[in-house]
Amino acid sequence: MLPDKESITVAYAIDAGEVESLGKIGTTQTEIDRLCKRLQSKASHVRVVYEAGPCGYGLHRQLTQRGFESMVCAPSLIPRKPGERVKTDRRDAAKLVRSLRAGDLTAVYVPGVEDEAFRDLARAWAAVKEDLRQARQRLKSFLLAHGVGYTGRANWGESHRRWLSEYSFANAWQQLAFEEHRRTIEDRLVQCGRLELALRDAVVNWRFYPVVLALQAMRGVQFVTAVGMVSELGDLSRFTHPRQLMAWLGVTPSEHSSDGKRRQGSITKTGNSYARKLLVEAAWSYRHMARVAPEIQQRHEGLPKAIIDRAWDAQLRLCRRYRKLVARGKNANIAVVAVARELAGFIWDIARLAMALALPRSGQSI
């Protein structure tokens, strides 16, 4: 199948027979039910595949409820011939059937309904925070263009924001533009606070709340990072080895080896870019000497000793790892990415430990 906003292009094959086209159908529930009946009339066991895309997982859930073996595949991992220059929905649907039969497709993780809802809330929060960052940058650029500078630290603290509220331009048009920039920032701040409060209320009732709590025992992993990472990763038990999580995050080195020679390049940067960004940001905190700061001690309250000990092991190893890489002449950015790769392994381990220990769902400070 090849779904889009208004139609679904369908192709099928029976056993090892030729691939045939069923044409296009609509996306309404009635037309999908009619398609399911047609497919069930052709075989007792039906496997269905379609590309992951902007239409989400609704079709997958409908097909699963009807008893079909449904798979959502990763578009970037579908085999393609180098010289292929003609692309149509009908050809792509037939190609999916052949690739499924050959076992050449890679399935993407389909979150549960509750997990997807929580992820939507977390992504809305992340999007508003990005809007806030861009709004602040626009105001800084506006002030720089007119030679207006703040004498203190422009860190958007209380004194900085007070100065902005009291500053005014002589020209009425410039003053209006300035006020609109400043009001946009204030609106985004209110929106961020509203969404963060909703997240803190919702996460307590989420099934991965123990993982969010446990990950905050680690250095560099605060509430923002923990919620963002877990909402994007979902069920970490689907990764049987930490290397699988590292590969999913795109922090493993690319490789081109042949003729007995092994050549490794930059990281692959595949998978979830937002989760990778959070991971690398957390890894920067391991540049400094290992220590348990007061804010980390506060996050340790109520957590099992096994998780706290594992977080300390991670800090000792990763801080040492960064210093060794820099001492060997590695660039700081390269060293941090290497630390981030190992940090992903500790996240995998602590998350599994948290679920095994069955941490309480409430009563913890986040």
pLDDT along the chain (366 residues), means of 10: 84 86 87 88 88 88 89 88 85 90 90 94 95 95 92 87 91 95 94 95 93 94 94 92 93 80 82 92 94 92 92 95 95 94 95 81 49
Q: Which residues of 79-98 are buried (b: 16+ CB within 10 A; e: fewer)?
A: eeeeeeeeeebeebbbbbbe
Distance CA 354, CA 360 (A): 10
Within this chain, do residues 233 and 342 fall inside the same structural domain, yes or no? yes
CB 231 within 8 A of CB 112: no
Q: How many separate domains does the chain show?
A: 3
Within this chain, do residues 223 and 347 fall inside the same structural domain, yes or no? yes
Q: How many residues does the chain have?
A: 366
Please report whether residue 178 resides in a domain.
yes
Predicted pLDDT of residue 153 = 85
Within this chain, do residues 65 and 182 fall inside the same structural domain, yes or no? no
Domain boundary among 152, 181, 203: 203
> Which pTM was predicted?
0.87
- Return the closest-CA partner of residue 358 out of 202, 214, 205: 214
Please report whether residue 107 resides in a domain.
no
Distance CA 188, CA 126 (A): 12
Domain boundary among 143, 175, 203: 203
Phi, psi for 12 (deg, rounded to 5): -150, 165
Within this chain, do residues 192 and 220 fall inside the same structural domain, yes or no? no
Within this chain, do residues 278 and 338 fall inside the same structural domain, yes or no? yes
Residue-wise DSSP of 180-225: HHHHHHHHHHHHHHHHHHHHHHHHTTSTTHHHHHHHTTSTT--HHH
Phi, psi for 256 (deg, rounded to 5): -140, 95
Predicted pLDDT of residue 320 = 95
Within this chain, do residues 230 and 163 fall inside the same structural domain, yes or no? no
Please report whether residue 365 resides in a domain.
no
Within this chain, do residues 81 and 122 fall inside the same structural domain, yes or no? no
Please report whether residue 18 resides in a domain.
yes
Predicted pLDDT of residue 182 = 94
CATH code at position 39: 3.30.420
Please report whether residue 363 resides in a domain.
no
Within this chain, do residues 121 and 235 fall inside the same structural domain, yes or no? no
Distance CA 54, CA 48 (A): 18
Please report whether residue 299 resides in a domain.
yes
Domain boundary among 185, 203, 221: 203
Please report whether residue 81 resides in a domain.
yes
Predicted pLDDT of residue 358 = 65
Please report whether residue 108 resides in a domain.
no
Within this chain, do residues 186 and 213 fall inside the same structural domain, yes or no? no
Within this chain, do residues 225 and 188 fall inside the same structural domain, yes or no? no
Which residue type is seen at 320?
R
Within this chain, do residues 341 and 233 fall inside the same structural domain, yes or no? yes
Domain around 299: 209-357
Predicted pLDDT of residue 244 = 93
Within this chain, do residues 91 and 128 fall inside the same structural domain, yes or no? no
Distance CA 286, CA 245 (A): 20
Distance CA 91, CA 289 (A): 57
